[in-house]
Structure 1
């Protein structure tokens, strides 16, 4: 999000709602019990990145008001969750293994382009010097292992079959 847009949204500091620097913390009634929860949502996102329990106030009925320390901790935790989710997604969409072909190290990578209706994938072999040895379309469910990469290389990097 651009800084310009971020500055247009005024900060809100209420007992149960804080909006500051692109994040919203909202204290909500916990549907599962008599307690409270806090939902952290990044601007522009439909779903919260984090929903967790929230502390009761002294009256044991109402939630404790949000404060700067709690908000900063929640932002840090929610940001970490988003970062881990992005890393996990990247790991699912890009896999690579190293093999040896005629005494040279070769990196074989599978890159998946997600699409709900028609995902695609590309299998690429790259030499140690960075030169591309082969690049072919592959099935998105291709199981890239050292063994499958070695078999592909030993066969001369043929195009994947469309079975």
Structure 2
């Protein structure tokens, strides 16, 4: 019985011998229904809502897909169209934008800012909510026109920052808020 596997040229073998065994090669998969490249995985799945197909984009390390959307049927009208470079790149761009918007929305929910004019100059008052699983809290901070911290107090995560409350805090000398 003869071995049909291709022979390895000596220069190929010596080149591989110098590669760092501890360095992980990039995990690139490019199959018709599964692509994994540059920290993203695109997977074509059966659409649970109808007879069609869907594609989900999952960022490495994330438990949930960042994007799930309809996927095109192939020419046979039964199977999905295979993934390709162009489609994968478009899906990565779209999923990245979805994540970016989600992060912006979360930041807007957890960070508020109010500007004040006082006798000592302009002041920014910020409220940063720290959504700790066990003990959430918020930090109310006063910053001068140069961004230097004037005062900071810990408040309840339900504290509502308004222009009037910030003004009252400043007029009271930035003391503790109950």
Normalized against structure 1, the TM-score is what?
A: 0.90
The alignment covers a number of residue pairs equal to 157
Alignment-derived partner of residue 68 in structure 1 = 85
Kindly indicate whether the alpha-carbon contact (under 8 Å) linking 1:39 and 1:48 is maintained by their aligned counterparts in 2.
Answer: yes
Shift of 1:130: 2.9
Kindly indicate whether the alpha-carbon contact (under 8 Å) linking 1:139 and 1:160 is maintained by their aligned counterparts in 2.
Answer: no
Alignment-derived partner of residue 8 in structure 2 = none
Which structure would you say has the larger Rg? 2
Kindly indicate whether the alpha-carbon contact (under 8 Å) linking 1:6 and 1:21 is maintained by their aligned counterparts in 2.
Answer: no
Alignment-derived partner of residue 42 in structure 1 = 59
Alignment-derived partner of residue 126 in structure 1 = 143
Shift of 1:57: 0.7
Q: Distance in 2 between matches of 1:130 and 1:57?
A: 57
SS of the residue aligned with 1:33? coil
Are 1:148 and 2:165 an aligned pair? yes
Are 1:160 and 2:177 an aligned pair? yes
RMSD: 1.7
SS of the residue aligned with 1:8? coil
Shift of 1:82: 0.9
Q: Distance in 1 between matches of 2:27 and 2:54?
A: 24
Kindly indicate whether the alpha-carbon contact (under 8 Å) linking 1:6 and 1:22 is maintained by their aligned counterparts in 2.
Answer: no
Shift of 1:112: 1.4
Divergent runs of 4+, >4 A: none
After superposition, the C-alpha distances for 1:51-83 in whole angstroms (9 at most, x for unaligned) are 000001111111111010000000000011111
Alignment-derived partner of residue 108 in structure 1 = 125
* Higher mean C-alpha deviation, range 74-83 or range 129-138: 129-138
Q: Which has the higher contact order (CA 8 A, sep 6+)?
A: 1
Normalized against structure 2, the TM-score is what?
A: 0.83
Give unpaired runs (5+ residues) of structure 1: none
Sort the Cα spacing of 1:155 and 1:14 in 2 relative to 1 into closer, same or farther, 3 A: same
Q: Distance in 1 between matches of 2:148 and 2:90?
A: 46
Shift of 1:104: 1.4
Kindly indicate whether the alpha-carbon contact (under 8 Å) linking 1:110 and 1:144 is maintained by their aligned counterparts in 2.
Answer: yes
Q: Distance in 1 between matches of 2:146 and 2:175?
A: 22
Sort the Cα spacing of 1:53 and 1:154 in 2 relative to 1 into closer, same or farther, 3 A: same
After superposition, the C-alpha distances for 1:24-55 in whole angstroms (9 at most, x for unaligned) are 00000000111100000011111110000000
